[in-house]
Each structure stands twice: as structure tokens, then as C-alpha cells.
Amino acid sequence: MSGYAKTFVLMAAMTALFMGLGGLLGGTSGAVIALMVAAAMNLFTYWNSDRAVLSMTGAREVSEATAPGLVRMVHGLADGAGMPRPKVFIIDSDQPNAFATGRNPQNAAVAATAGLLRRLTPEEIAGVMAHELAHIRNHDTLIMTITATFAGAISMLANFALFFGNRERTGGLIGTLVLMVLAPMAAGLVQMAISRSREYEADRIGAEISGDPMGLADALRKIESIAKGIDNVQAERNPALAHMFIINPLHAHAHDALFSTHPKTANRIAALEAMTAKPRASAQQSSIPRVGVGRRRSQGPWA
């Protein structure tokens, strides 16, 4: 099943959970009100999420004058993929990592940590930036906003159940309390499953944008190895941002556990390695420009 199909199935499950919970509470009026409130909250977040996230991570915008190597690479990859050029930011963190944000491709930004630029080769950096561009092109921010809306509405309905719910429908006080705990948990699990599915899809499309699956595979392997020993202070202060990074920046979810927002890195690398077995155009034939990539470590002014 493709990443898009998995996302559709998971979002359908979120919708079914929401509607089922509304039915248990004795009608649709409360469900509609909760959904409207949650939608309004998430709509505000959607329009302002990029500025909020960049501010929370302490990211600073860079240009060709201040970080010519990185900016030209991102612009070249975006041009080759037929995408609008996103704004480029650098985060002053020694942990190698990166993320994308923005409500659509016309209002998007990519951010890389200083540690990523210092510790990875240009080829690996290009793979990471292509992955983040894939998130933008796939409208993943929109997808995650929609799922957040449903998750917020489900949590709100579960809380309403204690005061306004039909106890006969929910099985009395004990049933209502169980519902309050399990419904938001189930919504959170679906939300995390969607996030994990989007990571696989971004890896695949990012490898196509860069034209080099192994560049991204090498980057994932290196980032995970190095990040284990370096704290990402900004992410630790705001753990809700963890799902946005290419590799989980927190140290609490090192494995592919039930509550992890990221797939196991070894599985992602295996999927990328499988792509190298498929015929693909050479660097000279590819329509994607190979901007600033190569096996040697860059001597350019990345940060």
C-alpha cells in the first residue's frame, strides 16, 4: 500500500472514531460544536504555525549573502523539482537535524541545524533538503493540520462526555472515564501513524528530487548516530515539535515504539537502498540539478 493510500485509510479511521464518539454522546449537535471549535483553533495555528515553530526553535533566516552554499542548494533543488523556492533558515543547534514548515508550497520554509551543516557532506545535506522539500510538495503540513483538528475535536468530545454525556450510552461513570482516556489516546495513535507514513513518502519523493537515494540514506544513518549523543535544546523544551524533524530529536524514543512519531531509521534506509536497484537517469540526464553535492566534505560557507 502506498503512502498516500495509508494516509487516506488512517484519516478515514480518524473520521470514523470522531463520528462514533459523537454517536455515543447522544447525537450530532455536540459533535458539530466541538468540531467547529477545534477547527477554529487549528485554523489559527495553521496560518501562524510557521512563524511560531521557527520562533520556538530560534531559527534565523539566511540568504545567499550569509549562507550561499545552503541557499543555492535549496533553490537549485526546488527549481529542479518545479517548486516555489522556500525561505531558508539555520538553527543554532549542534545536533544534526532539519525540518520544513509552512501552510503551502508558496508559503514554506526549510530549516537545518548548524550541526547538520558542519557534520554532513554536501551530498548528504542535499538528500536532507530534498526530503524537506518533499514534505512541502506533498502538503504534509495541511494533512497534519487536518488530523490535529480531528484529534482536538475527539479530545474535546471526550471531556464533554463527563459533564454532558449520556451515561446510558457510554456505560455509566466508569465507561465515561474510560472513554475520556481511550478516545484521545486512539486519536493520538492514528495521528502518529499518519506522521510516520508521511516520513516514508517524503523519503521516497525526496530521493527522486535529489536523484540520489543513497545520499539521503547515508544522511539518515549519520544523523541518528550523532544525534543520540547531542541534545537538541530547542526540541527538548518544545517536545511537540519532535514530529517535524527528519530524525526524532528527543532521546526518549530511540526505537520504533508504539508512541514514536518516526519510523525506525533502519527501515527507512532499507527502503531507500531498494530504490537504488531501480533504473534511474544519470546525473547528466536528470532534470534535477545536482547542486553542491559530492562525496568530499564541503569547504563552502554553509552556516
Which residues are part of the catalytic machinery? 132
Which residue is associated with the grid cell 530521493?
207
Cell of 302: 554553509
Pairing mode, strands 98-104 and 87-91? unpaired
- CB atoms closer than 10 angstroms to residue 145: 18
Which residues fall within 8 angstroms of residue 24, CB to CB, at 6 or more apart?
Answer: 161, 165, 166, 169, 170, 179
DSSP conformation letters of the chain? --HHHHHHHHHHHHHHHHHHHHHHTTSSHHHHHHHHHHHHHHHHHHHHHHHHHHHHHT-EEE-TTT-HHHHHHHHHHHHHTT-PPPEEEEE--SS--EEEEEEETTEEEEEEEHHHHHHS-HHHHHHHHHHHHHHHHTTHHHHHHHHHHHHHHHHHHHHHHHHHS-HHHHTHHHHHHHHHHHHHHHHHHHHHHHHHHHHHHHHHHHHHHHT-HHHHHHHHHHHHHHHTTS--HHHHH-GGGGGGBSS--SSS--S--TT-SS--HHHHHHHHHHHTTS----TTT-SS--TT--SSPP-S---
